[in-house]
Amino acid sequence: MAFSAPSTNSSPVQATRPNSLPSLPPPPNPSIPFIQQPIPQNNLEPIKPPHKSIIVRKQPKSGEFPTIKLALQALDQIYKNSSKSSTGIIAPPQTIFIYPGVYKERIRISYPGPLRMIGYTNTTHQNGFEKNLVNITSSIDAEIAGSDESSATVRVNMNDFSMYNINIFNLYGKQGTQSQAIALSASGTRQSYYNSAFFGFQDTLLTLDGFHYYHKCYVEGAVDFIFTQRAVVWFEQITTGSTAPGIISANGRSDLTDPSRYVFNRAKILSSGAPPRSVYLGRPWGNYSRVTFQSSYLSEVINPSGWSGWSIDDTRTNHALYTEFGNYGPGSVLKSDVSNGIGLLDPNSGLIKPPQLTLGPAPIGSPDAQKGVPFGTRAPFSFQLVKPLSVQQVLGDDYGNWVDPKYGVEH
């Protein structure tokens, strides 16, 4: 059963999507113990592979592999040869190091131990994704693949996984089509992604379930291109690029007991071809959708409403919790409205001051438009927070056990 997708030829609020993914396993329990201690976070050198890495190189030397798929098959053999105990086979921590190149592959990563996948880069971790030299590409949509998740260029189905400095593309899809084609599908808990980039059009990044962390990554797409049902995800200093009118996030939280949440902290929300005011921060896929953008730059690509429904009478907005805090830029709420408490939501006392009707945002390109938009133009189911969310609130106090400390949340 495939997802239903919006047509980019119509208003974003007219689309429909089913309320559930078919035949998916329950989300991992965040209290699952580590198979072993967390992967040692030694200093990653930009050129030299970490000690005892499995090496992938386009022109391999002895003991290396020409494709990522063959390296993963070698991991399977390592697992089979691992020591046994009364609790079963213990899979040791492993690292796959990939040298520069374009790898035209569709891969599934499933290893019962901690695993790092590191792409060659000639820069340091402070500089983000811009100088990545490892590219994994495919071009297939959900209809051809059999399901949306199966269309992914890279499918990660494991706990305790981290990726560094890798670009992933699904080149299928373009404006005017309804082609769901995933670049990365991430299922499992304690997954983290650093300085990596994900390119697609519709459904670029599926964070399926578990606890995830993304740091200085880039995600490009147009239609619901960051989406989930059950995952809890902290996006730290990521950049999004919208290629056409559409929606950035679709959170499918189904009820009050579902832990799912998206937090975009210090993000840059940019256009990669979409016209001004044609993109929305998110729309509710589930009845209790929960998304926050905080301390982020919202460019003029963001529509003054900020958030969208799937249709005018969509009841999923009744319980959606769409919040902002401390954002700036032409697509953000005017600082004067924020300082006056308009639209403020306090977790304890509720809405402090409802928004007032306004005459609308300033014309595109005017000096006033660069300051932001009145809160009264925001969707009625969105609010301003009294204070920002912390990563501990979202991922738990133990997030430092599995997030690389060099890529942690700065305060």
Residues marked as catalytic:
203, 224
Buried b (16+ CB within 10 A) or exposed e, 28-53: beeeeeebeebbeeeebeeeebeeeb
Q: Containing H/E element for 162? A: strand 161-164
Contact 120, 97 (CB under 8 A): yes
- Tokens at 216, concatenated: 């200085």
Q: Is the dihedral of CA 240, 236, 284, 187 positive or negative?
A: positive
- The residues near 366 (Cβ < 8 Å, ≥ 6 apart) are none
Phi, psi (rounded to 5 degrees) for 393? -60, -35
Cα-Cα-Cα-Cα dihedral sign, residues 208, 31, 212, 50: negative
- Cα 319 versus chain centre, distance: 22
The β-bridge partners of 325 are 294
Residue 220: closest CA among 265, 272, 185, 258: 272
